[in-house]
Amino acid sequence: MKMFSTKSIPYFIFFILLSFSIMLSCEREPDPIGRDLIPDVISAYVDSTELIHSITVKGDSMITNKKSWQLLGHCINPMFGVSISELITEISLVNKDSFNFGTNPQKDSVLLTISFSGYTGDPNSLIEVYCYEYTEGIRGDTNVYSNTDITGRYNPVPLGSGYINFVDSLLKISITDDNFIRRFFEADDTIFTADEILTGYVHGIYLHPQNNSPGGVILYIDFSEDPGQLSFYYHNDEEVSLDYHLSIGKNSKRFSIYHHDYQGFPIENFISGGNETDSIIFVQSISGANGVIRLPDLENWIDSLPVAINHAKLIIQPADTLITGLSKKEYPQKLNMWLIHPDGGYRYVFDNLINEATFGGGYDSKTNAYIFNITYHIQSFLEGDIGNFDFVITPEYPSNEFTQVILNGANHRGNDKMRIEIIYAPL
């Protein structure tokens, strides 16, 4: 990720004037942070929402083929709609040695098993996962994105299907396609001597989940732990009980594909490309939805110099769970906030560059809020160091876990609306 250019930071804090419209809510006592640095006789406090615009936008696609953690599942949420994560992965060798299944091998059973390390959703969900043969080589040398179109890249005839077992944290699929099994039985011995030879023979598998219940679940699969196996249980003319195992794990190239269907769900009415501020904003991982925050009137503050800004923070609170129906377990434990650069891509917020530890963004269950410190960002803009870029809000781990939260926007009717709190001293 590129970082925007900045001028050298002076030793003392920049001196800036902020001309805010004082809201009725500013009668609250200010946050005491930094009050010891400015004399009480000239200190001032502003709690302003008039300067904030907040909207929801669709999330950007993201790279998914260079991740240890992969997601698989299908969820239906009454507010967010349908979210699906599919998985495409290679099959790798456990032992790289010449091998054959013997004379006249016959299957007893062939099982694909994948263990998962965690999940988000309802463990009572009935999720059936269909397995298909992926018919194109999986790239590891270039980026593969979450919106990759795999139309025509897999055999549409299922190899088999199975259900998620939450007691054993295991997905087990019975492979029943005889043509697919026969290709392994008839493979030359050299096929099993190197991964690149095996994946040239059978490129991989494609897992597609189907939710047959109201809620659903998204699984977390840790590929650094070699979570899966393709196991052949068979007999031949010489022996009656044999087995051979292939791996699905850290040596297997893989990627995930994310799908979201918002049609007919509340989030559809909030997905926007405009400038109108909303009462709530939706934030969801796996390329779902991002919040965008704009401060369009920052320029109006420049004309009233000079004041010294002691502290400025953006406070964002989740909407009432009784209204959203979301559990706090679904919330991101931390939000990321970036600057959207007009030339494309995201840039670091100035305060994050200066001190990532104090920048904030973690969820505080006691105050039910995500708080970002943006003092230097505002100062650097007013000093001409950066442009008035929009902020984008995303989950901290947008592809490693499935999280979602609905946040009160600047247009929310209530004391817990999105707001900026500022402590400053007129000079």
**DSSP track, 154-167:** B-SS-SEEEEEETT
pLDDT averaged per 10 residues, the chain (length 427): 35 29 34 41 58 90 94 96 98 94 97 96 94 96 96 98 94 97 96 97 98 92 95 97 97 97 94 78 97 82 64 93 92 96 88 93 96 89 80 94 95 88 74
pLDDT given for residue 311 in this prediction: 85
Residues 224, 230, 231, 236: is their CA dihedral positive or negative? negative
First to last CA, the chain: 39
Helix, strand or coil, per DSSP, at residue 89:
strand
Task: Count other Cβ atoms within 10 Å, centred on residue 293.
Answer: 24
Q: How many CA atoms, within 13 angstroms, populate the side-chain half-sphere of residue 398?
A: 22
pLDDT given for residue 424 in this prediction: 72
**DSSP track, 21-37:** PPPGGGGSPPP-TTGGG
**DSSP letter, residue 17:** -
pLDDT given for residue 306 in this prediction: 64
Q: Per the structure block, which two tokens stand in for 195? A: 């991964």
Residues 144, 149, 155, 161: is their CA dihedral positive or negative? positive
pLDDT given for residue 35 in this prediction: 37
Per the CB < 8 A criterion, the answer to whether 405 and 318 are in contact is: yes
Residues 289, 291, 296, 298: is their CA dihedral positive or negative? negative
Beta strand residue intervals within 2-105, DSSP E: 44-48, 53-58, 69-77, 81-89, 92-93
Q: How far apart are CA 349 and CA 408, in angstroms?
A: 22
Per the CB < 8 A criterion, the answer to whether 75 and 330 are in contact is: no
